[in-house]
């Protein structure tokens, strides 16, 4: 289930009565071949779908893509992390302003609607907290004053 998907994720209530996503793993384990050697990796279903889409677009196999990613990744980076970064970079490079407009990007309010944020959940953003620490807000304020 994607963060901004149209499907409603399973949820439960936390100790304060807020709706929370169930703590169930969404990772799917599959066997792939890297350098001709079989290995297993665990990725979210959306990542597997994206990997298959890239393989289709590039007319190659998932195994070839994973070998390519493994060849280019840092030695200290896991293959699954490198695959996630590769997919993000691949689709970011393909993104266009027109595509963003068609997808309805450009408004956090619309993003909250796509993510199906309830009024109760939205109170977090309305409370002034909004995820930024006091230090982050002060730093941003200084940047604005200097500019």
Helices (H), 95-147: 97-102, 108-114, 119-126, 134-146
* Band of residue 145 on the pLDDT scale cut at 50, 70, 90: low
Pairwise CA distance, residues 33 & 40, whole Å: 8
C-alpha to C-alpha distances, 5 to 16, 111, 112, nearest whole angstrom: 26, 11, 11
Asked if residue 40 belongs to a domain, the reply is yes
92-139, pLDDT tens digit by residue? Answer: 999 999 988 888 888 888 888 888 888 888 788 876 655 555 555 565
29-64, pLDDT tens digit by residue? Answer: 999 999 999 999 999 999 999 999 999 999 999 999
**Residue 75 has what pLDDT?**
95
**Residue 16 has what pLDDT?**
57
Asked if residue 24 belongs to a domain, the reply is yes
Cβ–Cβ under 8 Å, residues 55 and 62: yes
CATH number, domain containing residue 66: 1.10.3990
Asked if residue 76 belongs to a domain, the reply is yes
How many domains would you assign to the chain? 1
Q: Considering only CA atoms, which of 88, 40, 92 is closest in space to residue 63?
A: 40
Map tokens 């998907």 to a residue: 5
Asked if residue 141 belongs to a domain, the reply is no
Whole-structure pTM value: 0.65
Domain that holds residue 80: 11-116
Geometric angle at alpha carbon 116, from 111 and 112, rounded to 5° = 25
**Residue 143 has what pLDDT?**
53
Asked if residue 127 belongs to a domain, the reply is no
Asked if residue 77 belongs to a domain, the reply is yes
CB atoms within 10 A of CB 67: 19
């Amino acid at each position: 289930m994607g963060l901004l998907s149209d499907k409603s994720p399973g949820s439960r209530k936390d100790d304060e009565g807020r709706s929370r996503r169930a703590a169930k793993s969404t990772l799917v384990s599959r066997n792939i071949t890297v350098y001709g050697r079989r290995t297993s990796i665990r990725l979210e279903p959306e990542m597997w779908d994206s990997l298959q889409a890239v393989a289709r677009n590039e007319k190659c196999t998932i195994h070839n893509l994973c070998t390519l990613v493994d060849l280019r990744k840092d030695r200290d980076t896991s293959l699954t992390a490198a695959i996630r970064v590769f997919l993000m970079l691949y689709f970011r490079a393909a993104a266009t302003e027109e595509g963003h407009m068609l997808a309805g990007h450009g408004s956090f309010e619309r993003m909250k609607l796509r993510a199906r944020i309830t009024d109760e959940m939205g109170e977090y953003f309305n409370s002034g907290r909004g995820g930024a620490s006091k230090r982050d807000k002060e730093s941003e304020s200084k940047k604005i004053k200097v500019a």
